Amino acid sequence: MRSWLGDKLDRDIEVLNMIATGELHSSRAGLYLQSLQHAFPADIRADMLCMMQLTIELSARAKGELLVREAGLEMPPDPELDAQFRELAYLQKSIGPTGLLAVAPLLSQTARELWEMRRLAAAKL
């Protein structure tokens, strides 16, 4: 039986593949980002896309770690994790409060996903 966590992880991976292959522009998320072109400069929209990708990557990583722990295994700490959270903080500052509100619908940041990401961040310590 598939868990909610596994289904959500599959969706995260699908979006990451769309970003990597350039297919995102024809999706609802891509069309939404394009609709922001008159409200935000190109560099901010690029940061929004980077933030979207990074939050999905971190969310997918957290879900994967939870699935591994459910199986009774432990994952070794990832040395790149700290840099990813620093990059996320930089992107949040670069995008600014209004940009964050605009991009919020695209981010993997439901209450559960935020909890997973905080747990992942805490595990890196």
Q: What is the number of domains present in the chain?
A: 1
pLDDT at 1: 38
Q: Encode pLDDT of 56-103 as tens digits.
A: 888 888 877 777 777 888 877 778 888 888 999 999 999 999 999 999
Asked if residue 106 lies in contact with residue 29, where contact means CB atoms within 8 angstroms, the answer is yes
Q: What is the pTM of this model?
A: 0.79
pLDDT at 106: 84
Asked if residue 64 lies in contact with residue 5, where contact means CB atoms within 8 angstroms, the answer is no
Asked if residue 63 lies in contact with residue 5, where contact means CB atoms within 8 angstroms, the answer is yes
Q: Where are the alpha helices (DSSP H) in the chain?
A: 4-21, 28-35, 42-70, 81-103, 111-123
Question: 36: Cβ–Cβ under 8 A, 6 or more apart, which residues?
Answer: 45, 48, 102
Q: In which domain, by residue range, is 46 found?
A: 4-123
